[in-house]
Each structure stands twice: as C-alpha cells, then as structure tokens.
C-alpha cells in the first residue's frame, strides 16, 4: 500500500496568539511523518479561518506561501467551530485518503497522531481521541463537561465519553458524513452514527498554549442544549409525562377535596391554591418552551440555508507562481 495522503484540519477563530506555536508544531510533525514515510508528501495541513476579526487569515495566508504543507480556507463569516470543521473536512476529503481534525490551541496531543495513523493502517476508518485526564481544564469545565456526558447518556444519545473533536476519519467516512444533511450539526453525536470500523486512542489533554477559550459559558450551554435537542426527543416526551402525572395527581386531589367537603371540613387553605396555580403555570411555560425549541429547530432545518460559505480557497486552488519562493 502506498503511503496515505493525510490532511490535518484545524479550525481557527481569532487564534493569532497561538497560531505561531501551532504552525511550528504541526509543520514539524508533518515533515516527520513524511520523512518516516508514514504519510505521502502530498499530505497537507488545512487551516480554516472561521471569520476571524484578528490577524488569523493573514498568518495562514503567509504560511501557505512559505510552506509546502500549509493550506488555507477562509470562510466568509463566523459560523462556529462545528461548521468550520465541517467546511474543512469536506474540502480536505477531495484530495486525501484520511483526515484528522484538531483544535488550533494545541490542547490535544499531536504525538498521538502517529497512533491514529497506525490504527488507520490496521483498517480502522474512524479513530477517536479520548482524554484520559482533564487536570488542565478548570474544575468548573470538568464538572460541567462530565454532567453533559451523563445527561446525554440519560437522554439515550450515544457519545464516545470524553472525546471532543480530535479524531481521524477515512475519506469514505467523511463522504458518508456529507449524507447527514441536518443544519443543527453536532459532530460528536453524528460520527458514531456512521458506523464503520472504529476505535479509540487515549491521550492527556493539555492547557491551551496561548490565547483565550472561544467557548465561554453562554456558548457552552447553548452547545450542550443543541446537542441534546438535536439528538433526543426525551425532553419533549418528559413534558408529556409530567403533564400526565399532574393530570392524574389533580384528579386524586379533587377526589380528596370532595371527600373533605362531604365530611363537612370545608376550610381549605389559600396557600395550597396559590402554590398549585404557580406550579402548573410554571410547568406549562416549561412545556411550551421545550416544544418551541423543537419547532425552532424544524424551522431552521426546512430553510436549508448553507452551513458555511467559502470566501477564499487556498487548498485545492494552486497559488500563483510568483507567490512561491
Ligand atoms: N473555533 C472556531 N469557531 C468558533 C469558535 C471556536 O473555529 O466560533 C475553534 C477555535 O479556534 C479552536 C477550536 O474551535 O481551534 C476549539 O475552541 P476552544 O479551544 O476555544 O474551545 P475549548 O477548548 O475551550 O472548549
Ligand atoms: Mg481549546
């Protein structure tokens, strides 16, 4: 078997602080992989600029001119990590045999990429990078992340525990991924649905090399909420369940109050009345909210808007000769 053509896809959003380190590390790794004949010399590093407002694209573009391995893709505006990653995967798939996705901040251990490739050569088409320790993450991030995985499990969604978006996929797997046309995309939930021969590789997650997280609490919560509602109808089902329980509960109460009336004890409290009004009112609002969330999702899906728009393609399109040194 010839050496496979590998493309490493790196989504970047305002990453000017960390990019110099990322270029150095990944370029070094790529030359090593090529020298050791683990991958073909037509392998590439594809940096996707997700509509950054800092120097990210300038940095990427300069590198594409100076280094044979570096390529870039500039999206027309910020579409979020998942969609930026998807843009990179679909583009990379055109010219590669296998594709690895990794964050720009070097939190994931590049050294395990060799391990990924070993598994690929053994015939695995999807290799998940799984974090064994998360000591470098804050206590808050760790606990919220863990509750997220537990909640997803409770909702019946099949996720690879402690796996983020650091993974290898074969060209064929990425092609199949294109068939999942949903707009509300949550890759960690979808990739296991592809099936194929898959395995995991374990590594320790490090601290961000430089710059700040692009996932503040608000974005993290909306990501988790999207993850759940895109994959599970348990929340909407539980609304029905709560409705049924409260309906039969109130029937029982009515019976009880009727009995009290029958035996002449009619002094009923105002407190119970007002609490039940608030309780039922609250439940109704929650129910309407959950249903609204699903309807909102359907609304987004039926519009079928493009998930991303490519502004500049410096991957498949060759750069003009005079740019090269
Ligand atoms: N990212 C992106 N678009 C966004 C937000 C983030 O492409 O709108 C990229 C970011 O540049 C990084 C990766 O997604 O390469 C993961 O983001 P980050 O490291 O900030 O998340 P965390 O590791 O803190 O969860
Ligand atoms: Mg990170």
pLDDT digits (tens, 9 = 90+) for 247-256: 888 888 778 8
Q: Is the pLDDT of residue 325 over 50?
A: no
Tell me the CA–centroid distance for residue 2 and ligand 2, in Å. Answer: 34
Q: Give which of 98, 87, 100 is closest to 9, Cα–Cα.
A: 100
The residue that leads in pLDDT, 151 or 191, is 191
Give the mean model confidence (pLDDT) for residues 21-29. Answer: 95
Q: What is the pLDDT of residue 177?
A: 94
Give the mean model confidence (pLDDT) for residues 261-290. Answer: 78
CB of 15 within 6 A of ligand 1: the answer is yes
Tell me the CA–centroid distance for residue 290 and ligand 2, in Å. Answer: 30
Q: What's the token pair of residue 114?
A: 């060799």
The residue that leads in pLDDT, 228 or 38, is 38
Q: Is the pLDDT of residue 320 over 60?
A: no
Q: What's the token pair of residue 66?
A: 């100076």
Give the mean model confidence (pLDDT) for residues 237-244. Answer: 84
Q: Give which of 14, 18, 12 is closest to 209, Cα–Cα.
A: 18
CB of 136 within 6 A of ligand 1: the answer is no
Residue 244 backbone zone (phi > 0: left; psi -120 to 50: alpha; other: beta): alpha
User: Which mutation among 50, 81, 224 tests ligand 1's pocket best, with the greatest number of atoms within 8 A of CB?
Assistant: 81
Residue 123 backbone zone (phi > 0: left; psi -120 to 50: alpha; other: beta): left
User: Which mutation among 8, 9, 13, 185 tests ligand 1's pocket best, with the greatest number of atoms within 8 A of CB?
Assistant: 13
Q: Is the pLDDT of residue 319 over 80?
A: no
The residue that leads in pLDDT, 89 or 266, is 89
CB of 107 within 6 A of ligand 1: the answer is yes
């Amino acid at each position: 078997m010839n050496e496979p053509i590998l493309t490493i896809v790196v989504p970047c959003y305002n990453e000017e602080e960390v990019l110099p380190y990322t270029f150095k590390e990944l370029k070094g790794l790529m030359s090593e992989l090529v020298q050791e004949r683990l991958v073909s010399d037509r392998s590439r590093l594809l940096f996707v600029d997700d509509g950054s407002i800092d120097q990210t694209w300038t940095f990427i573009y300069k590198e594409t001119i100076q280094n044979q391995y570096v390529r870039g893709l500039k999206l027309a505006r910020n579409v979020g990590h998942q969609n930026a990653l998807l843009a990179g995967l679909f583009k990379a798939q055109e010219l590669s045999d296998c594709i690895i996705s990794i964050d720009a901040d070097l939190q994931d251990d590049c050294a395990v990429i060799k391990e990924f490739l070993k598994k690929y050569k053994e015939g695995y088409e999807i290799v998940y990078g799984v974090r064994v320790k998360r000591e470098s993450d804050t206590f808050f991030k760790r606990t919220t992340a863990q509750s997220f995985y537990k909640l997803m499990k409770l909702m019946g969604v099949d996720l690879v525990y402690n796996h983020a978006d650091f993974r290898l996929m074969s060209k064929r797997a990425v092609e199949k991924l294109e068939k999942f046309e949903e707009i509300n995309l949550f890759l960690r939930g979808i990739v296991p649905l592809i099936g194929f021969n898959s395995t995991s590789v374990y590594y320790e997650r490090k601290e961000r090399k430089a710059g700040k997280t692009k996932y503040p609490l608000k974005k993290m919560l909306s990501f988790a909420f999207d993850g759940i509602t895109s994959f599970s109808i348990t929340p909407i089902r539980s609304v029905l369940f709560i409705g049924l329980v409260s309906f039969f509960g109130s029937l029982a109460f009515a019976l009880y109050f009727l009995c009290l009336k029958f035996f002449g004890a009619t002094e009923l409290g105002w407190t119970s009345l007002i609490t039940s009004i608030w309780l039922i009112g609250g439940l109704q609002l929650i129910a309407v909210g959950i249903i609204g969330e699903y309807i909102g999702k359907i609304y987004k899906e039926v519009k079928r808007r493009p998930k991303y728009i490519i502004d500049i393609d410096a991957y498949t399109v060759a750069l003009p000769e005079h740019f090269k040194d």
